[in-house]
């Protein structure tokens, strides 16, 4: 049974990270375990920026996006010396285990940290939903709801003017946000990195649907599939249709977490903390078919998360 643990957020922020930190802190304290917060991810571990937290430290954060501990990217942690220094900082404070909330890069760092002899448990925190082993990552639901809200608004103006609207969404190399928000938002076309699309054919389809009476079209582009500005230009060139581009950007990373993300973060946070305290290490907690699952960190980082082709097919079918 561990007596002192720490929690941190790392990599890109995502709505629901605060809910996860809150769960870790309060479950640990309930179990009689001391809990510390590490600021700015591996950077704070490396620079020894960490403090003991109590239940009040995590008050008033559940409803807030972002992460009150801060998050960062830390190049030093990629080196053996950097990780050793971070590990020694933890050891000096008597910290025996860490809950690391972040994306796949952060999970890779977590596994390397555990090699040095400290217990580590991961929680998938990223808007991109690109981590293998879990159906959903913390923040994805909120981000896709933000995108769908934006698509709804863009539809109003596209409809009024009879335009093509090209919306660029985040997701790094993954098409999950584009595909899910595209299906939920009724996009006519969805461009994702996992499936290549011929732009000339896309133009032809837009032209045909315009000629057959569609008043307007929404094209959702995942950032990993190309630049919406470039794709918008191409559509104008090859179809002549009145086209506008909207790059949603960092608005997708902010905002109050959805109910789904709060429940996911709280539930996974509880499981991760109880496991870590009991001595379990080197795993990530995730959600599959509505239940909580444990995934070996090596598996989570060793596999590539793929998209669900049936969702993509359905989005295409329903947008005709």
Catalytic amino acids? 128
Going by DSSP bridges, is the β-strand pair 97-102/283-288 parallel, antiparallel, or unpaired?
unpaired
Shortest separation between residue 297's beta carbon and ligand ADP, angstroms = 12
Helix (H, G, I), strand (E, B) or coil at 259: helix
Shortest separation between residue 89's beta carbon and ligand ADP, angstroms = 14
Residue number with CB closer to ligand ADP (106 or 243): 106
Shortest separation between residue 233's beta carbon and ligand ADP, angstroms = 31
Instruction: Show contacts with ligand ADP in window 8-67 (CB under 6 A).
Output: 10-12, 42
Residue number with CB closer to ligand ADP (38 or 74): 74
DSSP 199: H
Sign of the dihedral defined by the CA atoms of residues 134, 14, 119, 109, in that order: positive
Contact mark string toward ligand ADP, 176..215, x via CB under 6 A: ----------------------------------------
Q: Which of 69, 62, 16, 79 is nearest to 40 (CA)?
A: 69
104-112, 146-154, 178-186, 232-240 -> range binding ligand ADP (CB under 6 A) = 104-112
Going by DSSP bridges, is the β-strand pair 34-38/4-9 parallel, antiparallel, or unpaired?
parallel
Q: Work out which of 74, 95, 221, 295 binds ligand ADP, going by CB under 6 A.
A: 74
5-13, 25-33, 191-199, 253-261 -> range binding ligand ADP (CB under 6 A) = 5-13
Q: Work out which of 29, 31, 64, 112 binds ligand ADP, going by CB under 6 A.
A: 112
The helix or strand, by DSSP H or E, that contains position 35, with its residue range, turns out to be strand 34-38
Shortest separation between residue 76's beta carbon and ligand ADP, angstroms = 8
Q: Which of 52, 108, 51 is nearest to 83 (CA)?
A: 108
Q: Work out which of 64, 73, 155, 305 binds ligand ADP, going by CB under 6 A.
A: 73
Shortest separation between residue 77's beta carbon and ligand ADP, angstroms = 4
The C-alpha atoms of residue 139 and residue 144 are separated, in whole angstroms, by 9
Query: Per rule CB under 6 A, is residue 114 in the interface with ligand ADP?
Result: no
The C-alpha atoms of residue 248 and residue 221 are separated, in whole angstroms, by 11
Question: In 194-258, where does DSSP find H-type helix?
Answer: 199-211, 228-239
Interface with ligand ADP: number of residues (CB under 6 A): 17
Q: Which of 5, 100, 101 is nearest to 52 (CA)?
A: 5
Q: Where are the beta strands (DSSP E) in 87-208?
A: 97-102, 119-124, 164-169, 189-191
Query: Per rule CB under 6 A, is residue 124 in the interface with ligand ADP?
Result: no
The C-alpha atoms of residue 220 and residue 316 are separated, in whole angstroms, by 12
| Chain residues that interact with ligand ADP, rule: CB under 6 A | 10-12, 42, 73-74, 77-78, 102-106, 108-109, 112, 126
């Amino acid at each position: 049974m561990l007596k002192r643990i720490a929690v941190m957020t790392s990599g890109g922020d995502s709505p629901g990270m605060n809910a996860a930190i809150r769960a870790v802190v309060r479950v640990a304290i309930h179990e009689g375990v001391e809990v510390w917060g590490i600021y700015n991810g591996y950077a704070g571990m490396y620079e020894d920026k960490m403090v003991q937290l109590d239940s009040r430290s995590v008050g008033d954060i559940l409803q807030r996006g972002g992460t009150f501990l801060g998050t960062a990217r830390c190049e030093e942690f990629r080196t053996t010396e950097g990780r050793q220094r971070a590990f020694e900082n933890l050891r000096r404070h008597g910290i025996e285990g860490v809950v690391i909330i972040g994306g796949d890069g952060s999970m890779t760092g977590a596994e390397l940290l555990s090699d040095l002899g400290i217990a580590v448990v991961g929680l998938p925190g990223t808007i991109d939903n690109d981590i293998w082993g879990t159906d959903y990552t913390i923040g994805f639901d909120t981000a896709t709801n933000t995108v769908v809200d934006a698509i709804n608004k863009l539809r109003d103006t596209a409809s009024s003017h009879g335009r093509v609207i090209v919306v660029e969404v985040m997701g790094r190399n993954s098409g999950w946000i584009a595909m899910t928000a595209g299906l939920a938002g009724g996009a006519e076309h969805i461009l994702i990195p996992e499936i290549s699309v011929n732009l000339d054919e896309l133009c032809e389809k837009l032209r045909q649907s315009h000629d057959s009476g569609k008043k307007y079209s929404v094209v959702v582009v995942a950032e990993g599939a190309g630049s919406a500005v470039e794709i918008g230009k191409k559509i104008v060139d090859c179809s002549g249709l009145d086209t506008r581009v909207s790059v949603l950007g960092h608005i997708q990373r902010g905002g109050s977490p959805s109910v789904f993300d709060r429940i996911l973060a709280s539930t996974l946070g509880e499981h991760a903390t109880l496991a870590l305290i009991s001595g379990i290490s080197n795993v990530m907690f995730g959600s599959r078919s509505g239940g909580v699952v444990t995934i070996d960190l090596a598996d989570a980082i060793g596999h590539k998360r793929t998209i669900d082709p049936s969702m993509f097919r359905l989005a295409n079918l329903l947008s005709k």
